Homo-oligomer: A and B are copies of this chain.
C-alpha cells in the first residue's frame, strides 16, 4: 500500500464531471507533480485530497488511514496556495505560530519551533514584517514555512510559483528541491508548467480533461511520451506527417514521426556525422539561429518543412550561420511513431 493512495475518486460540479474513477499513488518522501492545462481537474483533485472539496465517490488514504470523510483540519496535510493566503494582520512569526497555537503548544515550544523554521527558510531579516511588506518570493517562502512547521504527513502545493516572476520562480524551485532533500517531506505539487513539472517531480502525472494520460519519471516522460498529446505538451517536437515522411525519407508509414530537436545531428555536408547511430539523412539550409540560453536553436529549411535542431551553446562547438548548407541525420532510435 502506498503512502498516499487515491482510489476511483470521482467529482462533478453542477452535473459536469471533473474527473471519474481516478487512481493516484505517491510514495513516502517523493514529490508527485500533477501537470496539465487549466481546467483539466488537477486543482480539484488536490483540493479533494486536502479535504477542501468533497469527492462524489472513491477513497483517499494517507499513511494507511482512510481520510475520505475526515475534516480538512484533522487530515494532517499542509497546503501552499498560489496567492500565498498569508494572514495579512500578522507578522511572519505570528503567521508561523498560528498553526502551533491551534495545537495548544506551550509558548516556549512555539517560539523555539518558529525560530528554527525562520532560520531554515532564511527569513531572519523579515521575521517581524507583515506580508504586505514582503516580496512575492518571500511571501511564498513564508507560506511554505507555515505549512512545514506543523510537520504535515503530506504537503499539497497548488501552483505555488505561478504568481512569481521567472527569476524568483527558478530560485524557489531549487530551494524546494533542496528542502525536500533536507527534511524529506512527501508532496503533491500542481502546476501547468511542464518545465516545473519535469524539474521538481520524482513522479510526474500528466492530466488532461479529468484523466491521467501518462504517469512516470520525468526523463521517461520526456523521452517516451505516451502519445501526440503528451509529446506536444512536454518540450518541443518536430512532427513529420506521413506524406512528408514519404517525400523526405522515401519511407512508407501511416504514423506521424515525432523527433526531438536536440536528438537531430547537424553537420556540414560531407564532413560525416559524429554519432555512429544509423538513420535517415536530410539536406537543408539554415534559415535562422536563436540563442535559447544554453541551447542554440537552428531552423533548417528542408523543402517545405522547417526543422528545429538544438545543439548545446558551447564555445568549442561547430557554429552554423544563416545560409549554411547542412546535413541532418535523424537517429533511428530518436523517432517516435505516433498514431492519433
Binding site for B on A (CB under 8 A): 162, 165-167, 177, 181, 192-195, 198-199, 218-219, 222-224, 234-236, 260-263, 275, 277, 288-296, 310-316, 319, 331, 333-334
Contacts and interface: CB of A to CB of B under 8 A. Distances in A.
Contacts of A192: 165, 167
A261 B177 CA distance: 19
A290 B199 contact: yes
Q: Chain A at the B interface: mostly helix, strand, loop or mixed?
A: mixed
A288 B182 CA distance: 13
A261 B195 contact: no
A286 to B, nearest CB: 13
Given A262-B312, A333-B315, A334-B315, A292 B195 contact: yes
Contact of A222 (B166, B313, B331): B313
Copies of the polypeptide in the assembly: 2
Q: Report, nearest first, the 8 A-B pairs whose CB atoms are least far apart.
A: A218-B291, A198-B291, A263-B314, A262-B312, A223-B315, A262-B294, A235-B293, A199-B290
A219 B333 contact: no
A313 B199 contact: no
Contacts of A260: 294, 313-315
30 contacts: A165-B192, A166-B195, A167-B192, A198-B291, A199-B290, A199-B291, A199-B292, A219-B289, A219-B296, A219-B313, A219-B319, A222-B291, A222-B293, A222-B313, A223-B313, A223-B314, A224-B315, A234-B293, A235-B293, A235-B294, A236-B294, A260-B294, A260-B314, A262-B313, A262-B314, A263-B316, A277-B316, A294-B310, A314-B334, A316-B334
